[in-house]
Amino acid sequence: MSPSGVTKPRLARRPALTCRHSASQTSVMAQTYLLFDFGSDEAKVQQARHKLEGWKQAFRLDKKLQYKLEREQAASPEPARTAEPATAEKTKPSASKAKAKAKPKTKSSDAPPAETENHGDVKLFVRLYFSGHEKLSEQRWLDRIPAEEPFKTASPKIVRESEPDFADILKQFDTLE
């Protein structure tokens, strides 16, 4: 027997602090999707996108709040009409290109191509990606986003991992740009 009263075989069976655990210490983060159908209202889509970007920056939700837009093409022959301005911009003289490079780009120049691109239905997919210990934060965002102004009228739908539609929404979100 040793001075502490513990025999050597018992010391050999004690787990060491540096032993490896067979189970992972990290849990999988839960994903929840919010779906919004804005129809053909491009102004509401841009307002919603702007609000989401503001929240991402203000609350540092870079990886935890992500969104993607799905635009359905309109059945009218408008894509042919929108192709003409794009080719007209390519054929401008080089002097106008030098002026364009000298001026800083504004947000108003970003809006017209989106309006002329198409007039089909627009769906917004928002993914909330919070870890297990952030359940309260996730629930607050699930309550807040559909209650805000541009999202209220867009028929919000919440899809959680346990629901049967989740696999389809996950594939659709991954294929969008």
Model confidence over 39-84: pLDDT tens digits?
A: 999 999 999 999 999 999 999 999 999 999 999 886 654 444 444 4
Question: Quick one: pLDDT at residue 19?
Answer: 61
CATH architecture observed for domain 28-72+117-177 = 2-Layer Sandwich (3.30)
**Contacts by 164-167 with C-beta closer than 8 Å and gap 24+?**
166/33
Report, as an integer, the average pLDDT of 15-28: 61
Q: Is the dihedral of CA 141, 156, 69, 42 positive or negative?
A: negative
Looking at residue 28, what DSSP letter applies?
P
C-alpha neighbours within 13 Å on the C-beta side of residue 1: 4
Residue 172 CB coordination number (10 Å): 16
Strand partners, 125: 35, 68
User: What's the whole-number average pLDDT of the chain?
Assistant: 76
- For the stretch 143-163, pLDDT in tens is 999 999 999 999 999 999 999
Listed residue (78, 66, 57, 64) closest to 124, CA to CA: 66
Q: Tokens at residue 35, please?
A: 């779906």
Burial class (CB in 10 A: 0-12, 13-18, 19+), 169: middle
Residue 59 CA, chain-centre distance (Å), reads 15
On whether the pTM is more than 0.85, the answer is: no
Question: Quick one: pLDDT at residue 29?
Answer: 80
First to last CA, the chain: 70
* Whole-number Cα distances in Å, 165 to 35, 65, 66, 137, 144: 12, 20, 19, 24, 23
> Is a pLDDT exceeding 60 seen at residue 165?
yes
Report, as an integer, the average pLDDT of 98-110: 45
- CA dihedral (56, 48, 176, 142) in degrees, to 10, reads 60
Question: Quick one: pLDDT at residue 101?
Answer: 45
